[in-house]
Amino acid sequence: EVQLVESGGGLVQPGGSLKLSCAASGFTFSGSAMHWVRRASGKGLEWVGRIRTKPNNYATVYAASVTGRFTISRDDSKNMAYLQIDSLKAEDSAIYYCTRPGLHNAFDVWGQGTTVTVSS
């Protein structure tokens, strides 16, 4: 079964940092780009960024709203993707999902999400 499982969310003070993890199984992880998408309470889905595969130099790209504060990485030996979030702001509070571009480049598999709350 193809599966993605996020973890690492929690309550963090403004200005703090957090590293989210995404564990993949059931597919060839090393051959797939990985994306992160978030949904803040009362708002819609927002694409955060993506990391490509080793043949594509693990290239990353980020939404303008998070560039410079968010870093996506991966460990193909562990089938894991990560989202490092620094200088957290209240507006970063959201459920964070990892997903992959599967057949026909659609996000066909999603994790259950991990919740990040930024508050003092």
Which of 7, 106, 115, 119 lies at the binding interface for another protein (CB under 8 A)? Answer: 106
What whole-number distance in Å separates Cα of residue 82 and Cα of residue 68?
16
The Cα–Cα gap between 58 and 109 comes to 20
Q: Which of residues 66-95 bind another protein (CB under 8 A)?
A: none
What whole-number distance in Å separates Cα of residue 68 and Cα of residue 84?
Answer: 11
| Least spacing, CB of residue 22 vs another protein, in Å | 12
Instruction: Please tell me the distance from the alpha carbon of residue 75 to that of residue 118, in angstroms, as a whole number.
Output: 27
Amino acid (1-letter code) at residue 115: T
Q: Kindly state the smallest distance separating residue 91's Cβ from another protein, in Å.
A: 13
- Take residue 103 and report the two structure tokens written for it: 């057949």
Provide the token pair at 44.
Answer: 């819609």
Q: Which stretch binds another protein (CB under 8 A): 7-15, 17-25, 34-42, 75-83?
A: 34-42
Note whether 5 binds another protein by CB under 8 A.
no
Q: Does 107 bind another protein (CB under 8 A)?
A: yes
Which residues bind to another protein, rule: CB under 8 A? 33, 35, 37, 39, 43-47, 50, 52, 59, 61, 63-64, 97, 99, 103-108, 110-113
